[in-house]
Amino acid sequence: YTITVDPRAKGPAISDDMYGVFFEDINYAADGGLYAELVRNRSFEFLPADNGSYNGLTAWTPTADSGGSGSATTVNDDARLNERNRTYLKLDLTGVAGGRYGVTNAGYNTGFAVKAGARYDFSVWARSDNPTGTALTVGLTGAAARTLIVRGDKWRKYSVSLSSGRTVDDGRLSVLAAGGGTLRLDEVSLFPRDTFKGRANGLRKDLAQKVAALNPGFVRFPGGCLVNTGSMYGYDAASGFPRSRSYQWKDTIGPVETRATNSNFWGYNQSYGLGYYEYFQFAEDVGAMPLPVVPALVTGCGQNRATDDPALLRRHIQDTLDLIEFANGPVTSTWGRVRAKMGHPRPFGLTSIAVGNEENLPDAYWANFVQFRAAIEAAHPGFTVISNSGPDDQGTTFDNLWAKNRAAGVAMVDEHYYNSPSWFLQNNNRYDTYARSGPKVFLGEYASQDAKLFNSLSEAAYMTGLERNADVVKMASYAPLFANIDNVQWRPDMIWFDNDESWGSTSYQMQKLFMNNVGDRVVPSTATGAVVQPQPITGAIGLSTWATSARYDDVRVTRPDGTVLYSDDFNDGDADGWTPVQPRGSWSVVDGAYVQSDTSAQDTMVKAATIGETDYDLSVTATKFA
Ligand code: AHR
């Protein structure tokens, strides 16, 4: 097999920004993940209607100390903090002198991860009807407790910092009140001082650093299915608890206590503490281009709805124009002023926006997209408005939307596909035949699924095809980015974490390699000779090179943490799906062991059934008898 490279020939230039990241709040990627807030359900807004397992006290436990007593209830009445943060915690205090009563928060995963020597900033909105005020003691596992005095029956923000003497990963935060009367609390917050780049309301450092280490050219956000699904209406105080809203940027900015909680497509609540301002700031902090996705008013991801309300469509188009002003407008503009007030007078330099994600109704999508595009381009000539090719089509081009995109001269089309490792290997040439003029490709979501390390190798092979076609494929991002190990809706994922640790998958390491070593230009090459296509083992796990003439017993498939996912002692007389690849000898189950009787070769044994889990580096072991 011969590869001929002509160093004088000039292939397409590869942009430094070709590879980026796609952040979606899936798998608890925001609250309990990248957003550094440690308190879960800090504003007591969780409702059974959001998720059957929720109520106002989700993650909170009423707690008494030294004979304290009372009742802790979550209340939505006219005493609320504000119209968007409607429910608060009401503590009616009835305890003996010296006693305290209140609540304890369990945080995420195993609890609060606190580090010895680190500082934590606590804040709470509170009001007390006790004429002498209420002493509120804030306790954090490992830290000396601090006491605040809440005075007056008007909402005020109180803050105190705590210093941890111990490192724990299962801490708790308690807020306990002394005396009598009624104390109301809301927006109970605890942040590590040490956030990424030291930002207030900032991001968890280890997770943000892992993204920064990828050196991303762009950050696509906030989704994904999250963007388009749910109600197309925004927050409306008059209707009380409008939930399951599509992701609308105006819901996510301003003081955090005024950002209404929303329940998202992935089955859990989002506080929007990580909102549009924070996304823009994060993109800037990692040196990446921000790339927002706005809802197109046509749903995808299994929800087939399109708006027939022209006023609603006009409102969303205006919201998108306002978003551009929020990002780029001068501080004298309406939305530029809001950005400046939040702490960033300089523009964020937004140049591109994507309209929609994986819409199932192509005609309805197109009708809306053209209106978004016309309005954006009229107001901002030169702005890149990105369209898409429809739902995850597993690599099959949806001609319907591509044809429309081409005919309309759209700048860029977002494609998504999740497929098997073998598909990625066999489709390395996908873009070789794409038209060289017309819309460019933004590969906004892709990942090889099934067989772990082999996934990453097949992705790497595929990315050589993206780079070879860098004149057509302008941007690409693996998906999804994050997964909290205790709350997984989708796998595989690139960066995994619990409350105090994080680690990259093999695909993370592979992306890091590519993203930090982007070439300047393709050097054309030709290859001659017989191409031997690798034969991937799809949906299988294996133990390589089982020995010749051997007997095996007790095959185990184990996660890195030692958990045994699957074991087989062969005592039931059959091989339960274990088969040799390219069998050269005869195999059988004899006396509760798997026996290889061939003396001439070693084989790779695989279990052809998926064991249901592909995101760990699984190891396979067996006891071998000669
Ligand atoms: O990345 C996970 C999901 O896959 C995204 O939300 C969606 O766009 C795609 O179907």
Q: What's the pLDDT tens digit per position in 149-176?
A: 999 999 999 999 999 999 999 999 999 9
Query: Per-residue pLDDT averaged across 564-571, rounded?
Result: 73
Task: Name the catalytic one among 37, 278, 325, 358.
Answer: 358
Q: Cα separation of 491 and 452, whole Å?
A: 11
**Counting atoms of ligand 1 from 1, which one is nearest the CA of 226?**
6
pLDDT band at 616 (very low <50, low <70, confident <90, very high): very low
The pLDDT of residue 608 is 43
**Counting atoms of ligand 1 from 1, which one is nearest the CA of 447?**
1
pLDDT band at 585 (very low <50, low <70, confident <90, very high): low
DSSP state, residue 439: P
Nearest CA to ligand 1 atom 2: 480
Rg, the chain, Cα only = 28
Asked whether the ipTM of the predicted complex exceeds the cut of 0.85, the reply is yes
- Whether residue 617 is predicted with pLDDT greater than 80 in this model: the reply is no
What separation in Å is there between the alpha carbon of 299 and the centre of ligand 1? 13
What residue type is assigned to position 202 of the chain?
G
- Whether residue 372 is predicted with pLDDT greater than 60 in this model: the reply is yes
| Ligand 1 pocket, residue 479 CB under 6 Å | yes
What separation in Å is there between the alpha carbon of 158 and the centre of ligand 1? 40
Helix (H) or strand (E) holding 566: strand 564-568
DSSP state, residue 237: G
Nearest CA to ligand 1 atom 3: 224
In this structure, what is the dihedral angle of CA atoms 479, 485, 490, 491, given to the nearest 10 degrees? 70
Closest CA to 45 of 96, 82, 97: 82
- In terms of C-beta density within 10 A (0-12 exposed, 13-18 middle, 19 or more buried), how is residue 185 classed? buried
The pLDDT of residue 529 is 81
Q: Cα separation of 150 and 162, whole Å?
A: 18
Nearest CA to ligand 1 atom 10: 392
Domain ranges in the chain are 21-32+198-528, 60-192, 541-625
| Ligand 1 pocket, residue 50 CB under 6 Å | no
- Whether residue 28 is predicted with pLDDT greater than 90 in this model: the reply is yes
| Ligand 1 pocket, residue 439 CB under 6 Å | no
Q: Cα separation of 353 and 330, whole Å?
A: 19
Q: Dmax over Cα atoms in the chain, in whole Å?
A: 91
Q: Please name the CATH architecture into which domain 60-192 falls.
A: Sandwich (2.60)
What CATH number does the domain located at 21-32+198-528 have?
3.20.20.80
CB 369 within 8 A of CB 387: yes
Same fold, 21-32+198-528 and 60-192: no
Q: Strands 156-163 and 168-171, how do they pair? A: unpaired
What separation in Å is there between the alpha carbon of 441 and the centre of ligand 1? 17
- Whether residue 536 is predicted with pLDDT greater than 70 in this model: the reply is no
Told to judge if 358 belongs to the known catalytic residues of this protein, a careful annotator would answer yes
| Ligand 1 pocket, residue 356 CB under 6 Å | no
Q: Cα separation of 531 and 303, whole Å?
A: 43
Which residue from 416, 494, 615 has its CB within 8 A of the most atoms of ligand 1, so it is best to mutate?
416
What separation in Å is there between the alpha carbon of 463 and the centre of ligand 1? 20
| Ligand 1 pocket, residue 415 CB under 6 Å | no
Q: Cα separation of 74 and 91, whole Å?
A: 9
Q: Give me the count of residues in the chain.
A: 626
Question: What token pair was written down for 154?
Answer: 């008007």
Q: Which residue has 């107001």 as its token pair?
A: 379
Question: What token pair was written down for 375?
Answer: 């309005």
Q: Dump pLDDT digits (tens) for 31-79.
A: 999 999 999 999 999 999 999 999 999 999 999 999 999 999 999 999 9
E-strand ranges in 20-80 read 21-22, 60-65, 70-75
- In terms of C-beta density within 10 A (0-12 exposed, 13-18 middle, 19 or more buried), how is residue 5 classed? exposed
Which residue from 225, 449, 482 has its CB within 8 A of the most atoms of ligand 1, so it is best to mutate?
225
Nearest CA to ligand 1 atom 1: 480
| Ligand 1 pocket, residue 383 CB under 6 Å | no
3-state SS, 447-512, equals EECCCCHHHHHHHHHHHHHHHHCCCCEEEECCCCCEEECCECCCCCCCEEECCCCEEECHHHHHHH
- Whether residue 590 is predicted with pLDDT greater than 80 in this model: the reply is no
What residue type is assigned to position 153 of the chain?
D
CA distances from 29 to 204, 226, 608 (A): 11, 12, 32
pTM, two decimals, is 0.85
CB 476 within 8 A of CB 463: yes
The pLDDT of residue 534 is 40
Q: Dump pLDDT digits (tens) for 392-435.
A: 878 887 678 999 999 999 999 999 999 988 899 889 999 999 99
| Ligand 1 pocket, residue 391 CB under 6 Å | no
First to last CA, the chain: 40
pLDDT band at 532 (very low <50, low <70, confident <90, very high): low
* Partners of residue 546 on adjacent β-strands: 603
- Whether residue 484 is predicted with pLDDT greater than 50 in this model: the reply is yes
Q: Dump pLDDT digits (tens) for 439-483.
A: 999 999 999 987 667 889 999 999 999 999 999 999 999 999 999
What separation in Å is there between the alpha carbon of 103 and the centre of ligand 1? 37
| Ligand 1 pocket, residue 489 CB under 6 Å | no
Q: Dump pLDDT digits (tens) for 74-100.
A: 999 999 999 999 999 999 999 888 899
Q: How many alpha carbons lie under 13 Å from residue 441 in its C-beta half-sphere?
A: 27
* Partners of residue 23 on adjacent β-strands: none
| Ligand 1 pocket, residue 445 CB under 6 Å | yes
Q: Which residue has 């860098």 as its token pair?
A: 470
What separation in Å is there between the alpha carbon of 224 and the centre of ligand 1? 5
Report the SS3 class of residue 17: coil
| Ligand 1 pocket, residue 491 CB under 6 Å | no
CB 251 within 8 A of CB 36: no
| Ligand 1 pocket, residue 357 CB under 6 Å | yes
Which residue from 388, 392, 493 has its CB within 8 A of the most atoms of ligand 1, so it is best to mutate?
392
3-state SS, 572-623, equals CCCCCCEEEECCCCCEEEECCEEEECCCCCCEEEEECCCCCCCCCCCEEEEE
CB-based contacts of 578-582 (< 8 A; 24+ apart in sequence) = 578/605, 578/606, 578/607, 579/605, 579/606, 579/607, 579/608, 580/546, 580/604, 580/605, 580/606, 581/537, 581/542, 581/605, 581/606
- The lowest-confidence range among 275-284, 343-352, 605-614 is 605-614
Question: What token pair was written down for 242?
Answer: 């409008």
Contacts of 190 (CB under 8 A, 6+ apart): 37, 38, 39, 112, 120, 121, 122, 140, 162, 173
The pLDDT of residue 578 is 66
Nearest CA to ligand 1 atom 9: 224
| Ligand 1 pocket, residue 392 CB under 6 Å | yes
| Ligand 1 pocket, residue 490 CB under 6 Å | yes
CB 384 within 8 A of CB 255: no
Nearest CA to ligand 1 atom 7: 224
Please work out, in degrees rounded to the nearest 5, the angle formed at the alpha carbon of residue 599 by the alpha carbons of 596 and 605: 40
